Amino acid sequence: MAMQMLTISPALSLISAVIIPCVALVIAFLGERLRKISKKANLSIAALSAYLNEVLPAIVFVKANNAEACEIARFKRLARVDLSERLKKRKMKALIPQIIQSIYMGALFIFCAGSLLLSKGSFDGCSMVSFVTSLVLIIEPIQDVGKAYNELKQGEPAIERLFELGRFKAKVMEKPDAIHLDNMAGELKFCHVSFRYSDKMPLVLDRLDLHIKAGETVALVGPSGGGKTTLVKLLLRLYDPSSGCICVDNYNIQNIQLKSLRRHVCLVSQDITLFSGTVAENIGYRDLMNGIDMDRVELAGQLANADEFIKKLPEGYNTNIGPRGSVLSGGQKQRLAIARAVYQDPSILILDEATSALDSRSELLVRQALQRLMETRTVLVIAHCLETVLMANRIFTLNDGRLQELTRSSLLGGHLNSLESEGLVI
């Protein structure tokens, strides 16, 4: 095509060739705009999804607080922003080829008309038709390149977000020579442990020392924000201490394989996490990939005082408990979480004791189940209830990152206000 055009008119061909880089510049400019618009559209759908993920599971709370109208308004606002950003993107996508074509054709028309006038009849009608046809055929692949470029620009924000995730550094790293531990006795040492969440934040734990013997139960109390949960996060190696070390059976936990550590250290939290699936899958969660041992699941159910209610469910251990265990009561969920810990059979148990009010029978069943679970293992219990505190061998208060041992007599003889300041209820 290019040769044919050159033969018909070298001057016009040169003019056409000058237009191509101009159009390329326009394509680049429009591509950059499309990239920015696509980025905004990606962010708006991400905000809408995050909002729905947060609010839909809390729908009971929303209704109980008469907040439906407020949430509908918030949803509409986010959905409107998303709609407008997506419309902008669609419009831009539809407009770009038209803009490029118009510019191209307009510019060529002006140049051709100008050239015809200047050539003063040396250029006949047939040659003109032949030239323009060749030009149109040449434009098509150039436009395809433009389209491909715009597709690339449109996908760029998504790729950028993916690369950002790739650049995300894990807070803890497993050493290549980290050891695997088959068994753990459960001796626990916190040696001069200090921790802050980031350089600009204050110390949450300040040179903390604690030695827990294997099989011992230690209760941690203290005011809200004192650092109790942070201590648990360090023990599970969700973060590493800023200084000092934590040892299990005299091994620094930074030298133990993460899988091995988390196999032997189990957290039963007050925020119970249950998944949509059967009762058995939730109890035997640890073996979900390798095959659940049903005998152990039932034994765990019995030890956790959960067997009775599970057997009354329509399909017993094979009943689906719905999203986040929605078909179960609070006490039943707690017993299922305890059954999961019994199934895991950890050497070290961390108990973030639930404060949620249960009826007295449920509370008795949960307490019995906890007592069974606490037998024969090392237990670190974040206690909120005086009764639980008194089950421990030793009691510590964690305040401003510092530990201080409390005596039973000081607690039992304590004034109600001083118990409350330790975050305890009677």
Task: Rank residues 26 and 203 by Cβ distance to ligand ATP and give the closer one.
Answer: 203
Task: Rank residues 75 and 239 by Cβ distance to ligand ATP and give the closer one.
Answer: 239
Write down the least CB distance from residue 90 to ligand ATP, Å.
Answer: 39
Q: Do residues 212 and 380 lie in contact, with contact meaning Cβ atoms separated by under 8 Å?
A: yes
Site string for ligand ATP, 125-164 (x = CB under 6 A): ----------------------------------------
3-state secondary structure of 173: coil
Site for ligand ATP in 85-104 (CB under 6 A): none
Task: Rank residues 45 and 203 by Cβ distance to ligand ATP and give the closer one.
Answer: 203
Q: How many residues does the chain have?
A: 426
Identity at 225, one-letter amino acid code: G
Taking alpha carbons only, the member of 240, 219, 263, 261 closest to residue 352 is 219
Task: Rank residues 224 and 417 by Cβ distance to ligand ATP and give the closer one.
Answer: 224
Task: Rank residues 39 and 228 by Cβ distance to ligand ATP and give the closer one.
Answer: 228
Write down the least CB distance from residue 261 to ligand ATP, Å.
Answer: 20
Write down the least CB distance from residue 197 to ligand ATP, Å.
Answer: 4
Number of residues counted as binding ligand ATP (CB under 6 A): 11
CA atoms within 13 A on the CB side of 119: 18
Task: Rank residues 209 and 359 by Cβ distance to ligand ATP and give the closer one.
Answer: 209
| CA gap 191, 211 in Å, rounded | 8
Contacts of 108 (CB under 8 A, 6+ apart): 16, 19, 132, 135
CA dihedral 404, 405, 410, 414 (to 10 degrees): 40
Task: Rank residues 132 and 424 by Cβ distance to ligand ATP and give the closer one.
Answer: 424
| CA gap 368, 308 in Å, rounded | 14
CB atoms within 10 A of CB 10: 10
Write down the least CB distance from residue 230 to ligand ATP, Å.
Answer: 3
Write down the least CB distance from residue 196 to ligand ATP, Å.
Answer: 9
Which residues make beta-bridge pairs with 251? 248
| CA gap 89, 94 in Å, rounded | 9
Write down the least CB distance from residue 374 to ligand ATP, Å.
Answer: 20
Task: Rank residues 268 and 300 by Cβ distance to ligand ATP and give the closer one.
Answer: 268
| CA gap 218, 378 in Å, rounded | 8
Write down the least CB distance from residue 267 to ligand ATP, Å.
Answer: 13
Q: What are the backbone dihedrals phi and psi of residue 279, each rounded to the nearest 5 degrees, phi first? A: -60, -45
Per DSSP (E only), the strands in 196-237 are 205-212, 217-221
| CA gap 279, 267 in Å, rounded | 19
H or E element, residue 252:
strand 251-252
Name which position in 75, 111, 149, 197 contacts ligand ATP (CB under 6 A).
197
According to DSSP, the β-strands at 265-268 and 348-352 are parallel
Name which position in 204, 265, 339, 354 contacts ligand ATP (CB under 6 A).
204
Write down the least CB distance from residue 408 to ligand ATP, Å.
Answer: 21
CA dihedral 389, 394, 398, 401 (to 10 degrees): -160
Task: Rank residues 197 and 275 by Cβ distance to ligand ATP and give the closer one.
Answer: 197
Write down the least CB distance from residue 192 to ligand ATP, Å.
Answer: 18
Give the tokens for residue 360: 């007295």
Task: Rank residues 195 and 343 by Cβ distance to ligand ATP and give the closer one.
Answer: 195
Site for ligand ATP in 205-244 (CB under 6 A): 222, 224-230
Site for ligand ATP in 366-425 (CB under 6 A): 423
Write down the least CB distance from residue 382 to ligand ATP, Å.
Answer: 7
Q: Tell me which residues touch ligand ATP (CB under 6 A).
A: 197, 204, 222, 224-230, 423
